Amino acid sequence: MTLSTSRPVIEDPSWVLTPITEVSKDVKHALILSSDGMVIGATDGLARDTAEGISAMTAALHGAARAAANAALEAPDGTPVTTITVQNAHGTYMIMPAGARTNTFIAVAGSLDMPMGTVAHIMARQAKKLGEQLMSVPARTQGAS
């Protein structure tokens, strides 16, 4: 398999996502995505085309949220955003980076009854583990098999 060096490789994302989805029946879906909007992994109940659309929109949302927050808070350009939470009448959507310099995020969608604090805690724990793994494994390069 030939992959770009810009995207991390996660053979089986279930070790990251399962603890998040099992924390509450109110968690609907979870996914791992790259900062350029590519799906790295998603829960089984999320169709691939839906996951791809969500990933692309999430990457754009993250970029817009970072720019807006940094401007509003007079923070230096590039200051990272640690969590983004969006709620509407149908539920909550949370986004969290998976470690510094990994260009990878975990996103979770849940109902309004989803215990946000608990889910955010598990997300942070899993994001840290994922970030550590991504930083410790060399990326595959062009032509690698």
Range(s) of the domain holding residue 73: 14-136
- CATH number of the domain within which 70 lies: 3.30.450.30
| Count of domains for the chain | 1
Q: Do the domain assignments include residue 1? A: no
Q: Are 116 and 87 in contact (CB under 8 A)?
A: no
pLDDT higher than threshold 60 for residue 143: no
Whether 4 is in a domain gets the answer no
Q: At what angle do helices 116-136 and 14-21 cross, to 10 degrees?
A: 170
From 9-18, 29-38, 92-101, 131-140, the region with the lowest mean pLDDT = 131-140
Any domain includes 7: no
Q: Is residue 3 part of a domain?
A: no
Distance of CA 114 to the CA centre of its chain: 17
Cα–Cα distance measured from residue 120 to residue 115, given in angstroms and rounded to the nearest whole number: 8
pLDDT of the residue at 1: 29
Tens-digit pLDDT profile for residues 23-75: 999 999 999 999 999 999 999 999 999 999 999 999 999 999 999 999 999 99
Residue 106's Cα: distance from chain center in Å?
2
Position 143 in a domain: no
Q: Report the alpha-carbon distance of residue 16 to residue 7 in Å, rounded.
A: 17
Residue 114 lies in a domain: yes
Determine which helix (DSSP H) or strand (DSSP E) holds 33, and give its type and residue range: strand 27-34
Mean pLDDT computed over 88-110: 93
Average pLDDT across the chain, whole number: 88
**Mean pLDDT, range 17-24, rounded to an integer:** 96
